[in-house]
Chains A and B, each alone.
Chain A
Amino acid sequence: MTIQETRRPVPSVARTPIRVVDSDIHPVPRAGELAQYIPEPFRSKYYLAQQRGESIIYDAPDYAHAKAMRVDTFPKDGNFAGSDPNLALRQAVVEGGSDIGILEPGFATHYLAEMSQALCTGVNHWLDNHWLDSVNNWHERWRGSICVAIEDAPGAVRQIEEWADHPYMAQVLIRAEPRPAWGSPQYDPIWEAAARHGLPVACHLSRGRDDAMPMPPVGFPSYNHDFMVTYSLLAANQIMSLIFDGVFDRFPTLRIILVEHAFSWILPLMWRMDAIYAARKSSMDITRKPSEYVKEHIKFTTQPLDYPEDKTELTRALELMEADKILLFSSDYPHWTYDDPRWLLKHLPEHMREAIMFKNGIAAYHLPDTVPALDGKTLVF
């Protein structure tokens, strides 16, 4: 008679320094996995009653087959890309070389604030039970996001208070579409709660439903490709609102992370804001140059990386904007826009590499310096 022993993987006692912090990895629920965590009445009344099927407007190449994903990230069980924590660990961490992955689940802004908050509640419980638990985070490489609907400030604060002490929740995650802009005092309780718990507030680009489709200043463009470019306008608007409406003066320890909004535009925006400040500061309440607020309070992720044909011009732009103060590496795994850490690294001036690849991330998310070692993991640099 033999006794079958099932062993769970255990973390190595050897620890390895964190050399790459990936600020954008997307976990996805397996089919049927999420609904149980969404509170009633919206689970039955709204989310389970919704029309099924594709509603996305997107023009990624070979979309019908690839679904805007890396096609090698679909697990064999038929579920969607990003739904298998072990496959994500193998591809993003062991093969890709990231040491820590900041998990950013998808959630959309819906018509009623309570609907969106119910979804966020469900996503937070799902992430805790299916990615951050001891079975799926045995390696201590995953960090989660406390998803909140900012249009419901009291509900968002309840989410933050519920999850802030979780050992693997590293940030608050919001969306940029709800109006008014982030400088409005209605969001102050959210900034206060996040700052008090030392949690950065990240915003990943998204597409809200109905009125919460992210509206560019002159209305919707004709095609998806021009629409994708407008996400930078949304982020620029929110930055101006945060700075000129004095959010960072009210909450001096608040940190904001803008994920996947691109970042090259921040250099001319800092120039423009500083020029306006120089001309009009007598009528403003803020106390420092806008660019100083940006460099102290705001981070941007590296993906998508934009550059001219001559990449030495990118180096100059990175130096002019002091990219080592404002950038965090991100891969966007498992999306088709994935950036391999070794590829991204080549674009960074040598003296900025440690800051952008891991030091800024360790500081922003309050990470340890080391993690348990993994056999065969790629060393990026």
Chain B
Amino acid sequence: MSGAPEAGGRSPEGPRLAQGREHVVATTDEIKPGGVKIVPIGRHGVGVYNVHGTYYAIANYCPHEGGPLCSGRPRGRNVVDADAPGDAVMVRDLEFIYCPWHQWGFELATGTTAVKPEWSIRTYPVRVVGNEVLVTA
């Protein structure tokens, strides 16, 4: 399926990076717009997303049943539009991640979800220095 980085990938293999530090995780051209790189930080890994040139990082773990969140598909969210075929249109494409297991959706920028508003996912600070993407996680 397009958008899924690795079928069934629960956590990246290889050595783990130390937790709670700032890491250089990728070069800017390594994560294309709409793409993701899962880096081995923490128990489940951290997904780093490029959304139209802005980078976001989230924990690769869905709070609902523990699914591998970053194996899901980034897309927008649907809103009612009575004039559109199907009475709905997708807006803000790629700004949300949908869990591959049960399709719970989370906003990448904030970690919030409309499914159960009192829950959210862990998000991590990202900055770009030169052509390098740095994540503190």
Chain A positions within 8 Å of B, measured between CB atoms, are 60-62, 65-66, 70-76, 87, 90-91, 95, 336-340, 342-343
Contact = CB atoms under 8 A, between A and B. Distances in A.
A62 B7 contact: no
Contacts of B8: 72-73, 87, 90-91, 95
Nearest to A60: B103
Contacts of A71: 1, 3-4, 71-73, 100
B7 A340 contact: no
Nearest to B104: A61
Given A71-B4, A73-B8, A338 B103 contact: no
B102 interface: yes
Interface string B80-117: 00000000000000000010111100000000000000
B65 A340 contact: yes
B26 to A, nearest CB: 22
B66 A338 contact: no
Contacts of B101: 70, 72, 336, 338, 340
Given A87-B7, A87-B8, A95-B10, A70 B73 contact: no
B47 to A, nearest CB: 13
Nearest to B6: A72
Given A71-B71, A71-B72, A343-B65, A337 B102 contact: yes
B65 A65 contact: no
13 contacts: A65-B1, A70-B101, A71-B1, A71-B4, A71-B72, A72-B4, A72-B68, A72-B101, A73-B7, A90-B8, A336-B102, A343-B65, A343-B66
Contacts of B9: 72
A336 B64 CA distance: 13
A340 B98 contact: no
Given A71-B72, A91-B8, A337-B102, A342 B1 contact: no
Given A339-B65, A343-B66, A75 B103 contact: no
Contacts of B68: 72
Contacts of A87: 7-8
A91 B9 CA distance: 9
Contacts of A60: 103
Contacts of A66: 73, 103
B42 interface: no
A339 B67 CA distance: 10
Interface of B: 1, 3-4, 7-10, 65-68, 71-73, 75, 98, 100-103
Nearest to A62: B103
Nearest to B70: A72
Given A74-B1, A338-B102, 12 more contacts: A61-B98, A62-B98, A65-B73, A70-B100, A71-B72, A71-B73, A72-B4, A72-B100, A73-B100, A336-B102, A340-B67, A342-B66
A91 B67 CA distance: 11
Of the listed residues A65, A70, A91, the one surrounded by the most CB atoms of chain B closer than 10 A to its CB is A70
Contact of B71 (A72, A75, A76, A337): A72
Nearest to B64: A343
Contact of B7 (A65, A75, A342): A75
A339 to B, nearest CB: 7
Nearest to A84: B7
Contacts of A62: 73, 75, 98, 103
Given A65-B73, A66-B103, A70-B101, A76 B66 contact: no
A342 B103 CA distance: 19
A20 to B, nearest CB: 15
A75 B67 CA distance: 18
A342 B100 CA distance: 17
A320 B84 CA distance: 50
Nearest to A67: B1
A350 B93 CA distance: 44
B43 to A, nearest CB: 13
Contacts of A74: 1, 4, 7
A339 B64 CA distance: 10
Contacts of B102: 336-338
A61 B103 contact: yes
**9 closest pairs, A vs B, by CB?**
A61-B103, A72-B100, A72-B71, A71-B100, A343-B65, A91-B8, A74-B1, A72-B8, A70-B101
